[in-house]
Amino acid sequence: MILFHVPGFRGNQTSLNPVGPGAEHIEFEFALIFWITVIVYCIVLIALVVYVVRRRHSLNIMPEPIRTTPESDRRARHAVGAAMVVTVLLVFTMLIGSFVSGHALGKMNRQSAYTIDVYGHQWWWEVHYPNDEPDKTVVTANEIHVPMGVPLRIHGTSRDVIHSFWAPNVQGKRDLMPGYDTDVMMQIDQPGRWRGQCAEYCGEQHAHMSFYMVAEPAQQFQQWLAQQAAASVSPSSPQVTRGQQVFLSHACVMCHTIRGTPAGSRVGPDLTHLASRSTIAAGVLPNTIGNLGGWILNAQSIKPGCRMPPNHMTGTELQDLLAYLETLK
Ligand code: HEC
Ligand SMILES: [Cu+2]
């Protein structure tokens, strides 16, 4: 729909700038209802103004009793009848529009679709790219790279409370419920970083539970996937080796995975390729060394209530740990 494609509606988190068939149908449906109601509203207002202007002389005096004739009765009946017919027709137009959109969305090809698993957590998104060879399964968080122009099947559920997966430029909302699996089809036809957000109140940090859908040309996506499937790089300098030791000897291992090391817990995000992400903590902070340091020492001061406790370590330990994490491309 071009009706809303005006500057100002070009954002990366708005359903008025659809970048795939899902959001396009939703925008069409929205535009249909919007313009029908705007036109009806204007007609009603104009009728009201015309009536008031015509009868303005009678406003100074006591209203006359309404006198009807069989002729005026008949005209009134016809007018009301016609308005009713038009109303029903308009409501049906909207209903049919909604059926057409729903049908088109349901028709997206599930068989040829690329499947990605999304798990909602308080307050971040765990993302899996399943592979027939289990050791090639990719696990990441909050930044969902996808191939452009390909039907995607997002298979979702929740690890705790109800969340809702919503990237407005791409597709409508889908609730993720604990103990219940759901599927939603989508496709992205424009390259870019399309921002999404949890759309179902899920606790203290609900507002800080965003994600990005990063749409890339197929080849670039495959490169990304291959790089993500690899185990973490082994330390190549004494400082980085010490940093890995800091990680493995602190509580981090109880909650995080770094593939290729003994750390294999799934309470928090997989950190195997942490340095390849551009944000941390579900979009709260850019992934810079300073932000990482602050986050590790006291995540609670950045995202109060989040499931990562403060960590105590010396300055040198932190420097070494950060040097290590920065190598996890
Ligand atoms: C009790 C579990 C727990 C421990 C211990 C823990 N973390 Fe976390 N960590 C989490 C959770 C949960 C998150 C996600 C928080 C959020 O975004 O709401 C997280 C997020 C992170 C992130 C951001 C990842 C991303 O992609 O957003 C980094 C980096 C991180 N932790 C590093 C560490 C390091 C280093 C240690 C040890 C010094 C550590 N964590 C200890 C649970 C833990
Ligand atoms: Cu939420």
Q: Considering the domain boundaries, does residue 307 fall inside one?
A: yes
Residue 89 lies inside a defined structural domain of this protein: yes
Nearest CA to ligand 1 atom 30: 296
Residues 251 and 314 both lie in one domain:
yes
Which mutation among 214, 253, 308, 321 tests ligand 1's pocket best, with the greatest number of atoms within 8 A of CB?
A: 308
Whether 60 and 151 map to the same domain: the answer is: no
Answer yes or no: is 30 within a domain: yes
Final residue of a structural domain among 48, 75, 106: 106
Give me the number of domains the chain comprises: 3
In DSSP terms, 182 is beta-bridged to 156
Domain co-membership, 36 together with 101: yes
Tell me the residue range of the domain where 30 lies: 21-106
| The predicted structure's pLDDT at residue 277 | 97
Question: CB neighbours of 327 closer than 8 A, spacing ≥ 6?
Answer: 233, 235, 236, 240, 275
Mean pLDDT of the chain: 92
Residues 309 and 265 occupy one common structural domain: yes
pLDDT tens, position by position, 249-304 = 999 999 999 999 999 999 999 999 999 999 999 999 999 999 999 999 999 999 99
**pLDDT surpasses 60 at 3:** no
Q: How far is the CA of 178 from the centre of ligand 2 (A)?
A: 13
Same domain, 260 and 282: yes
313 CA closest ligand 1 atom index: 38
pLDDT value for 110: 80
Asked, for residue 196, whether it belongs to a domain, the answer is: yes
In degrees and rounded to multiples of 5, residue 158 shows phi and psi of -120, 150
Considering the domain boundaries, does residue 96 fall inside one? yes
Nearest to 229 by CA among 133, 322, 146, 149: 133
User: Tens of pLDDT along 59-89?
Assistant: 666 666 777 888 889 999 999 999 999 999 9
pLDDT tens, position by position, 132-171: 888 889 999 999 999 999 999 999 999 999 999 999 999 9
Distance CA 181, CA 144 (A): 19
Collapsing DSSP to helix, strand or coil, 124 comes out as strand
pLDDT tens, position by position, 96-110: 988 888 888 778 778
The model's pTM is 0.90
Indicate whether 310 belongs to any domain: yes
* pLDDT of the residue at 241: 96
CA–CA separation, 280 vs 292, rounded Å? Answer: 8
Classify residue 268: in a domain, yes or no: yes
CATH number at residue 242: 2.60.40.420
* In a domain? residue 131: yes
Q: Which of 82, 106, 130 is the last residue of a domain?
A: 106
176 and 206 fall within a common domain: yes
User: Is residue 62 classed as helix, strand or coil in its secondary structure?
Assistant: coil
Sign of CA dihedral 81, 87, 90, 95: negative
